[in-house]
Amino acid sequence: MTSRISRDELAARIARDIPEGSYVNLGIGAPTLVSNFLPRDQEIILHTENGMLGMGEEPAPDQVDPDLINAGKLPVTELPGASYFHHADSFGMMRGGHVDVCVLGAFQVSERGDLANWSTGAPGSVPAVGGAMDLAVGAKQVFVMTDLLGKDGTSKLVAACSYPLTGVRCVTRVYTDHAVFDVGESGFVIRELFADNTRESLQALTGLSLTEGAS
Amino acid sequence: MFAIRTKVRLANILTMRLGGLGMISKVVPAVADAVAGVADGDTILVGGFGRAGQPVELIDALLAQGARDLTIVSNNAGNGDVGLAALLAEGRVRKMVCSFPRQADSHVFDALYRAGKVELELVPQGNLAERIRAAGAGIGAFFTPTGVGTVLAEGKETRSIDGRDYVLEYPIRAQFALISAFKGDRWGNLVYRKTARNFGPIMATAAAITVAQVDEIVELGVLDPETVVTPGIFVNRVVQVPERDWLRGGRFVGQQESAATGATA
């Protein structure tokens, strides 16, 4: 086994790559952790696709307002400078390339940047896509935050996705608990190695041919 | 066919609505009046994202009204056992068009879907919004990058424009839209509250008859024209419902107690 960094450490690592002034959408689940590590003294504006810019943190229990929720349907707050808008505007912001960074979870990411994160295609499951496909194609940079290996030990970085696709050639960079990878012209490029991981150990884990790039 | 049928029905409803010629009042006294005229087989846009902005009282009125074989267009497919979930449970919905039917408390829809008792058209959320917007804006169809290369674009026309691939999507229009707003006036001008706005403004534009439930009906001129979100031209009926539980006189008070005031509706 190679060593890994924790989910919080990974969230903090992603936060460091988000410059002040960015408009950012954090996907449901682990990506929302990134907000805990965005520097408080910097103005980074969070977009939630149900219709708000300038989203703040979770409210105190007596301040929970059912009219003020995020895309995960959890209660949030509004920061000074916040704005509300309808769904078509909100997804226009996304699809129109106005959002700088989107951080999404993944089941699989392929070498050419295809993303699968909405359905395992399991028979009998009720499909639900939400905004996943819109987020995948819209932001200027699409970051994926994920464990490198699934619960069954198989690599989530793959030559080609076997799960139903969310978007084609849409992923910019993949932040995993083992390393950070850019999606390059000919496969994944290792941008940063965590702990004692090496190119060779990651090639063994993923079964992919990896290159090392400048960080 | 759609246009003729809805125009005839809209004309009937307009004559019903106008008490005296000249003065516009889209205000109806009760939610039962607000959903009058919904017919079997109609397509109905229902606002809300999760529980925020759900037109709960209008859905309950639709439940009582009795129309069947409905196509419901809404982001989600019901929560718990009330509202849309109750409509589904009564077997009144033939088809759901939504982006995210599966939720922690969507057991009613889930069971019907697995049993093959309700159709589902799954639409990416942004495409759902844009298809509704397109219907209201008179757009015949549009090319969107969302969904390209996925199962949700299978069988649909695609085109490469300036080096990017797009899929053709068609508008979603409906006989009725049921939405929830914060305040409205007798001309149908509406303002919303926070993220409860979600689908309201676009759904209002895309139906032959748009029905808005509001916490408060205010006098003409009270809503600042600079802040009106949905201009009254898009709205056909306005009905006042009891103020939402977490507000008192329009101000946020939290959810310590249930609202005791509010007009009968």
ipTM of the complex: 0.95
Q: Is the confidence at residue B175, as pLDDT, over 60?
A: yes
Q: How far is B133 from chain A (nearest CA, A)?
A: 7
pLDDT score of B1? 43
Confidence grade of residue B21 (pLDDT, cut at 50, 70, 90): low
Q: What distance in Å separates the CA atoms of residue A69 and residue A82, rounded to the nearest whole number?
A: 13
Digit-coded pLDDT (tens) for B184-227: 999 999 999 999 999 999 999 999 999 999 999 999 999 999 99
Q: How far is B74 from B34, CA to CA, in rounded Å? A: 19
Q: Which of A52, A62, A127 sits opposite B195 (nearest CB)?
A: A52
Residues B28-78 pLDDT 10s: 999 999 999 999 999 999 999 988 999 999 999 999 999 999 999 999 999
Q: Is the pTM of this model over 0.90?
A: yes
CB distance B126–A64 less than 8 Å?
Answer: no
Which pLDDT band holds residue B157 (cuts at 50, 70, 90)?
A: very high
Q: Which of residues 148-167 of B touch A (CB under 8 A)?
A: 148-152, 165
The pLDDT, as a whole number, for residue A121 is 86
Instruction: Please give the mean pLDDT across all residues of chain B.
Output: 91
Give me the pLDDT at residue B13, please: 54
Q: Note the pLDDT of residue A214.
A: 64
Q: What is the percentage of chain B residues whose pLDDT exceeds 90? A: 85
Element spanning A25, H or E: strand A23-26
Band (pLDDT 50/70/90 cuts) for residue B260 is very low
Do residues A181 and A130 make contact, with C-beta atoms less than 8 angstroms apart? no
Instruction: Give yes or no for residue B10 having a pLDDT over 80.
Output: no
User: Does A12 lie at the interface with B, CB-CB under 8 angstroms?
Assistant: no
Which regions in chain A score pLDDT beneath 50? none
pLDDT band at B256 (very low <50, low <70, confident <90, very high): low
Q: Please report, to the nearest 10 degrees, the dihedral formed by the alpha carbons of residues B206, B133, A29, A196 taken in order.
A: 160
pLDDT at B197 (0 to 100): 98
How far, in Å, CA of B109 to CA of B121, rounded? 13
| pLDDT at residue B263 in the model | 34
Q: How many CA atoms lie within 13 A of B167 on its CB side?
A: 23
Residue partners of B15: CB distance under 8 A and separation at least 6: none
Residue with tokens 């649909």: B156
